[in-house]
Structure 1
Amino acid sequence: MSSAPQGHVVARIGKAHGLRGEVTVETRTDDPERRFRPGVTFGTVARTGSGVPRSLTLATARLHRTIWLLSFDGIPDRTGAEGLRDTLLTVSAADAATGEGADDADDEGWYEEDLVGLEVVTADGDLVGTVTGLELGPQDRLVVAVEGGVVRIPFVEEIVPEIDEDTRRVVVAPPAGLLELVEDE
């Protein structure tokens, strides 16, 4: 990628779909119906030299089975769509807060960039590791670096009851055996 994302990442563009410039996206927002509205302009983060414009304006958005398909102004065909692969779509923090295709300002959701780097501890205060990512999907999961690899912790209130930005800590109450499911990095 060319640089760190400016603003909040709301999606990563995947492969081209069909012949008319549509792309699949991996959503990184909990309200894609409101975020993906035609006319919304997203910032982009792409590989240096890729030719991807600094911003893309959404032309169409539709849900196909469980995958969002988006098309953008100025990207009329599959060739153009293929050039967008792995591009991150971003919105500014101001747009996220004011609702420009965004979640409500009082939403209790978390952005990946807010969580990465936070220390993860148990309710007893035992150190588990450090948050390195957030995987969004049917079941959102915190990716936590632990000794020997990573653990994926379901990001639900029962298992992650507290996030304290002041102390930069995530408190977890994992079910028995969850923290032993260490995967290679």
Structure 2
Amino acid sequence: MELVVGRVVKSHGIRGELVVDVRTDSPGDRFAVGARLVGRTGKGPKATDREVVVEAARDHSGRLLVRLEGVNDRDTADALRGTLLLVDSDALPENDDPDEFHDHQLEGLRVLDTAGAQLGEVTEVIHTPGGELLSIRLSDGSDALVPFVTDIVPEVDLGAGTCVIDPPEGLLDLGSS
């Protein structure tokens, strides 16, 4: 399974740097010098993949500025706008911490309340400067953002394919549909 670790937003400067929205908890590992990623342009059957190699990466205003091998000017960088940067989930290291998860492990989990009633499904993990949020598609079709903290998400059971949430009053009423 391929996992998105970043998306090229735009070019930066005239020497081929790319502004990348980071979609991983480990940007230092995923965008380390020499890291090999898959760059996917387009969608569906028209999508094309090519291997890209990271030459350099640095923090910039909550995003990364990334240089890829062979991307040395603004025109080449501009052509990569919207490119998804992917890794193979098999290449990710095993996680020994029972309270840490890769995004792809959480996406698709059934969401239950503390009484066991099904509330919906995790559709995405959103990384913000304040922490992670679970985007949940509720049973009524609306969406809600739930902070991924132990007080609100006390249990994740990957084997059962579930996570239990104990939302404060009103949290699920403020869905972002």
Q: TM-score range by the shorter chain?
A: 0.7 to 0.9
Q: Which residue of 2 aligns with 1:54?
A: 50
Shift of 1:60: 0.9
Deviation at 1:43, TM superposition (A): 1.5
Q: In the TM superposition, what is the alpha-carbon distance from 1:105 to its structure 2 partner?
A: 3.9
The equivalent position to 2:134 in structure 1, one of 137, 142, 160, is: 142
Among 116, 121, 125, the alignment partner of 1:125 is: 116
Q: How do 1:10-25 residues align onto structure 2 when only pairs under 5 Å count? A: 10-25=5-20
What is the CA RMSD across the aligned residues, in angstroms? 2.0
Task: Confirm whether residue 64 of structure 1 aligns to residue 41 of structure 2.
Answer: no
Paired-residue identity, %: 35
Once the 2 structures are TM-superposed, how far is the Cα of residue 53 of structure 1 from its aligned partner? 5.2
Deviations 1:118-149 (A, max 9, x none): 11011111221111111112121111111142
Which runs of 5 or more structure 1 residues have no equivalent in the other structure? 1-5, 98-103
Match of 1:179 in 2: 172
Give, in angstroms, the shift of residue 45 of structure 1: 2.3
* CA distance, structure 1, for counterparts of residue 161 and residue 127 of structure 2: 21
- Judged with a 3 Å threshold, the aligned counterparts in structure 2 of structure 1 residues 87 and 32 are, in CA distance, closer, same or farther, namely same
Map residues 1-185 of structure 1 onto 2, 5 A cutoff: 6-47=1-42, 54-97=50-93, 105-107=95-97, 108-138=99-129, 139-146=131-138, 147-184=140-177
The runs of at least 4 aligned residues of structure 1 exceeding 4 Å deviation read: none
Output one character per residue of 1:124-179: Cα deviation in whole Å (capped at 9) or x when no partner: 11221111111112121111111142001111222112111121111111111111
Runs of 5+ consecutive residues of structure 2 not aligned to the other structure? none
Higher strand share: 2
Letter in 2 for 1:96: L
Distance, in Å, in 1 between the alignment partners of 2:72 and 2:49 is 14
Instruction: Give the paired residue count.
Output: 172
TM norm structure 1: 0.83
Letter in 2 for 1:106: D
Assess if the C-alpha contact under 8 Å between 2:40 and 2:49 holds in 1: no
